[in-house]
Structure formats: C-alpha cells, structure tokens
Amino acid sequence: MEGKKELMAHVAHQCICMQYMLELSKQLDVDPRACVSMFFSRIQVADLEYKKQFEDEVESFKERIRKRAAEKLAAAAAEVEEEERLARLGPGGLDPEEVISSLPEELQKCFETRDVKLLQDTIAKMNPEEAKYHMKRCIDSGLWVPDANKGASEDEGEDIYQEASVERMEEAQKEKEAFEAKKKETEKKFKELQSKLTQDPEIVQKDPELKQELERIEREKQELKKKEDELQKKERHTPWNVDTISKPGFAKTVINTKPSRPKEEDLTDEEREQRMKDF
C-alpha cells in the first residue's frame, strides 16, 4: 500500500519459509525451532519440483497481498471520496457537482461564469416548471444562495424564480405593446389606401407601386393575425400568480358594513312615531 514492494516480497518469502518449517515440524513431531536449519538444508538440495512448489507458494502469497492492498486502497479512496462528497453537500442534501452536471448547458454556463444577470435571463426564457425544478436543486445543493446574509429559508428558495417570472411578464407586456403599435400602424395605412380606392377604383391599375403596397399591407395583416393568435395562446398558457392577477381595477377591496343607525335620543318625536309604525 505504501509502495514498499521489495519489503513485501521479502516478508512474503519469510512467511512461506515459516509455513514450510511448521509443516516440517508437524511431520517430524519436533519443536519448530529445530526445523530451521533442517528446512534450509533441505531446500538447497531439493529437487526442481519441490523448489518450484515453494516458489509458486511465494508468488501466490505475494499476489494475494497485492490484491488485498489494491482492495484496501480502493476502499480508502472511496471513503475519502465519500467524505469529500458529504462535505460538499448543500443545505438540501444534494451534491453540487452532480447537480451542475445535470443542468442544461445554458444554466451550467451561468454558474461557471457566476453571472447572475445571465442566470436571470436564462431562467426567464425557460419553461416555468422546468426553471423552478432546476433552481430548487441548485439551492438544495448550495450552488445558489438566495440571501447569503440572512441564510436561506423555505420561502427564499423561489427568489430567483420569482425575479425571472416578473422579468418574463415585463417582456411579454413589451412584446404585446409593440404588437399593438404595429397593428395600429398597419390599420392606419390600410385605411388610407382604402380611402384612395374609394375615390378612384382604377388607381391600382394606374399606379403599380400602390398595388404592391396594398399587397404588402394585406400580407402584413395576415401575419399580424397569426401573431395575435400566438400572443393570445401564450397568454392563456402563462401561469397565474400574484404578478399576473394584480392589475389595476382589482387592487381595491370593499368590505360590506352595516349602515349606522341614529341613536334613540337623537330622534325627533315624528321620527320616533314613524319608527314605531314601521316596526
């Protein structure tokens, strides 16, 4: 294990020698110490088969030592690796190395470059459920700490996801506003052309450029219709949360209360009489 191969070979040879001496003492029924010189004398004059058997025993023993040493080294390395892995575990019990290797490439790049803005942009482009899943794993592994000063709590785990959600909604709103502006501009041009056609139905034949412009606007209207359908579909599939439903007109709560009644002593005689009649 420590690389002392020569020492191992020497000790292995001695062990097999002692084993042979013990066997010899059993055969002769004498004290093992009396067999030391006898064994070495015998091994020197022994035939080739006996020597080969002895050498094979030595080599076999050394091979068992090597195998056992390799097993112990592997076990020690595995133990060290496990200790390092346990030391790396994040607050949720996940290994950051395993988590980062399982992330999509674009998210891996964010953590490798430590770019928070890039991380927020990447999360904003992802599917909400997928983004939430990956960020939860990043927090549990310690790759992302929502608030390094206060420490992460259960609710803080979704901070980055919520930031990305707000950013995603802002982008969607900008996209919608840009679409509305484009649609309004196209409608205006189309109405102008219609007005010209109403005044002179043959103007298209007289002005080829006007005809091309009319065809272009017609194509634009079709594309805008497709874009409008896509935006509506996208809006329908956007998950509702506090950021999407808290819009003007729904931010005020009115509590119904019982109207106040005048006190008995404040009533006039006529009012008291009318109250009794109503009763």
Question: pLDDT higher for 216 or 273?
Answer: 216
As given in the structure block, the two tokens for residue 274 are 């009318």
Mean pLDDT over 218-225 rounds to 86
Q: What is the average pLDDT score of the chain?
A: 76
As given in the structure block, the two tokens for residue 213 are 């412009």
Asked whether residue 163 carries a pLDDT value surpassing 70, the answer given is no
As given in the structure block, the two tokens for residue 218 are 């017609």
Q: Would you state the pLDDT for residue 152? A: 42
Give the Cα separation of 255 and 120 in Å (integer): 39
Give how far Cα 199 sits from Cα of 71, 94, 208, Å. Answer: 97, 74, 17
As given in the structure block, the two tokens for residue 131 are 């983004």
Helix axes 208-237, 159-199, angle to 10 degrees: 150
Q: Would you state the pLDDT for residue 153? A: 44
Do residues 61 and 13 touch, judged by C-beta distance below 8 A? Answer: no
Type of residue numbered 219 = R
Asked whether residue 278 carries a pLDDT value surpassing 70, the answer given is no
What pLDDT, in 10s, does the model give residues 1-50?
A: 567 888 888 888 889 888 888 888 888 888 888 888 888 888 787 778 88
Q: Would you state the pLDDT for residue 33? A: 86
As given in the structure block, the two tokens for residue 174 are 């900008």
CA 14-17-22 angle, to 5 degrees, is: 125
* Residues whose CB is less than 8 angstroms from the CB of residue 159 and which lie 6 or more positions away in sequence, other chains included: 146, 147
Mean pLDDT over 243-271 rounds to 50
What is the distance in angstroms between the CA of the first residue and the CA of the last residue of the chain? 105
Q: How many helices (H) and strands (E) does the chain have?
A: 12, 0
Asked whether residue 62 carries a pLDDT value surpassing 80, the answer given is yes
Give the Cα separation of 108 and 102 in Å (integer): 9
Mean pLDDT over 64-70 rounds to 88
Half-sphere exposure for 157 (CA within 13 Å, toward CB): 18
Residue 216's pLDDT band, with cuts at 50, 70 and 90, is confident
Q: Would you state the pLDDT for residue 161? A: 52
Residue 127's pLDDT band, with cuts at 50, 70 and 90, is confident
Give the Cα separation of 91 and 236 in Å (integer): 36
Task: Mark 247-266 as b/e (b = at least 16 C-beta within 10 Å).
Answer: eeeeeeeeeeeeeeeeeeee
Give the Cα separation of 186 and 221 in Å (integer): 7
Give the Cα separation of 221 and 140 in Å (integer): 49
Q: Would you state the pLDDT for residue 164? A: 55
